[in-house]
Amino acid sequence: MEIIAQYGSIFLIMACVFGFFMAWGIGANDVANAMGTSVGSKALTLKQAIIIAMIFEFLGAYFAGGEVTSTIRKGIIDAQVMNDNPELMVYGMLSALLAAGTWLLIASMKGWPVSTTHSIVGAIVGFAAVGISVDAIYWSNVGSIAASWLVSPLLAGALSYGLFMSVKVFILDTEDPFQQAKKNIPIYMWMVGFMISMVTLLKGLSHVGLNLDLGLGSKFADAALLSALVGLAVAGLGSLMLRSIKDIPDEMHRFRSVEQVFGVLMVFTACSMAFAHGSNDVANAVGPLAAIVSTVESGGEIAAKSAVPWWILLVGGVGIVVGLITYGWRVILTVGSEITELTPSRAFAATLGASATVVIASGTGLPISTTHTLVGAVLGVGFARGIGALNLGVIGSIFMSWIITLPAGATLAIIFFFIFKAIFGT
């Protein structure tokens, strides 16, 4: 308690700096998962992708990031074990942020698309197991998070495969693909609007002090009605945008005009993926930050439950945007084209499948890996064309970077934990 009182202001400043650094790493490395498919399929230019990502990553982080933040903050280690020494919680979370941020900086410089969720979860488990006690870790929760890293790419792959096959059946394999595209694509746009709206209304707004009540008897019913209307608005806007696209016959590329229609749809799916990514992955930066702030502001009391202050989500959202602007473009250019060749129709299926998986996870509070999810989604689309369409060498190197990330995050966190313990005492 004395150490918290003595160094409280310093801990808060360090927490904000390290949290921002970690969020910068997410923007620099992980946002490519949200935007790589759009750029790789040439549906969006790099500049357009960065502008969309800046807006929707921030909105997802701020309005829908609180649920997963709670899991990162309280669901991995038993904070009550540190009641008598709350400074250990502060040291540990500072170490986790600095370790994960450092690893993301190294990976971004090397051009490796690593998982930010792996980085932070590995860091928290590392410092807790070595610096505190193996018994301080909720191993069942860690197990469910680890299981989600396997389930999420499989789910995203299955959803993306199904979406692309629906595109083939209802659009590409019909007698008039162009007309069928203009007729059916607004339905996909409605799905995008509905999905984003549902997670925002059900899980996001309460974290910034806004509550929804239309008097329909349940929060879910209220959210579903509003989300259906939002979906209609999105579909209506998309239909207006589609009017300007004309069917220009091209013997060399039969689906050129159809792919142009999907290019308009990719604007909406890119927004949904950026929003979904921000809502899930901001927790990797602000979860430990929220734990530090809660402990310091209470004078050393480790609360079992406390609200995530709005400004903490703001720090995470701004950090992600700054990382994206300063370094994210490097990874965006490589991720979108190296796993498999993407056209707008394939990229749409991959992006919507991945964003749906991430939104589901954000709504349930499960911190999944966006990297795993998007790679799984792109693989699903690739499988729809045959295994020869996949670049297995690149996939293998991505898998290897995932394996290295966990021990790297844990090792760095352990080192930083003992450095902070030596500096500030216990």
- Which range has highest mean pLDDT (44-48, 192-196, 421-425)? 421-425
pTM (2 d.p.): 0.78
Average pLDDT of the residues in 189-211: 68
CB-based contact 38:254 (threshold 8 Å): no
Between 209 and 143, where is the model more confident?
143
Q: Which of 199-208, 214-223, 254-263, 264-273 has the lowest mean pLDDT?
A: 199-208
pLDDT at 145 over 80: no
- State residue 123's pLDDT score: 92
- State residue 10's pLDDT score: 92
Residue-wise pLDDT tens digits, 32-82: 666 777 787 787 888 888 888 888 888 887 776 666 566 665 678 877 777
**Which amino acid, 94?**
L
The contacts of residue 269 (CB under 8 Å, 6+ apart) are 38, 192, 347, 348, 351, 352, 355
Alpha carbons 230 and 157: distance in angstroms, whole number: 27
Q: Which of 13-27, 257-271, 300-314 has the lowest mean pLDDT?
A: 300-314
- State residue 217's pLDDT score: 67
- State residue 206's pLDDT score: 52
For the chain, how big is the Rg over CA atoms in Å?
22
- State residue 333's pLDDT score: 67
**How much of the chain exceeds pLDDT 90, in percent?**
12
CB-based contact 205:424 (threshold 8 Å): no
The CA-CA-CA angle for residues 170, 241, 40, to 5°, reads: 70
Residue-wise pLDDT tens digits, 395-404: 777 777 778 8
pLDDT band at 394 (very low <50, low <70, confident <90, very high): low
Residue-wise pLDDT tens digits, 329-368: 777 766 665 556 677 888 888 888 887 887 777 667 676 7
SS (H, E, C) the chain: CHHHHHHHHHHHHHHHHHHHHHHHHHHHHHHHHHHHHHHHCCCCCHHHHHHHHHHHHHHHHHHHCHHHHHHHHHCCECHHHHCCCHHHHHHHHHHHHHHHHHHHHHHHHHCCCCCHHHHHHHHHHHHHHHHHCHHHECHHHHHHHHHHHHHHHHHHHHHHHHHHHHHHHHHHCCCCHHHHHHHHHHHHHHHHHHHHHHHHHHHHHHHHCCCCCCCCCCHHHHHHHHHHHHHHHHHHHHHHHHCCCCCCCCCCCCCHHHHHHHHHHHHHHHHHHHHHHHHHHCHHHHHHHHHHHHHHHCCCCCCCCCCCCHHHHHHHHHHHHHHHHHHHHHHHHHHHHHCECCCHHHHHHHHHHHHHHHHHHHHHCCCCCHHHHHHHHHHHHHHCCCHHHECHHHHHHHHHHHHHHHHHHHHHHHHHHHHHHHHHCC
Residue-wise pLDDT tens digits, 7-44: 889 999 999 999 999 999 988 887 766 677 778 778 78
Q: Where are the domains of the chain?
A: 2-424
Number of Cβ within a 10 Å radius of residue 187: 13
The CA-CA-CA angle for residues 38, 103, 36, to 5°, reads: 5
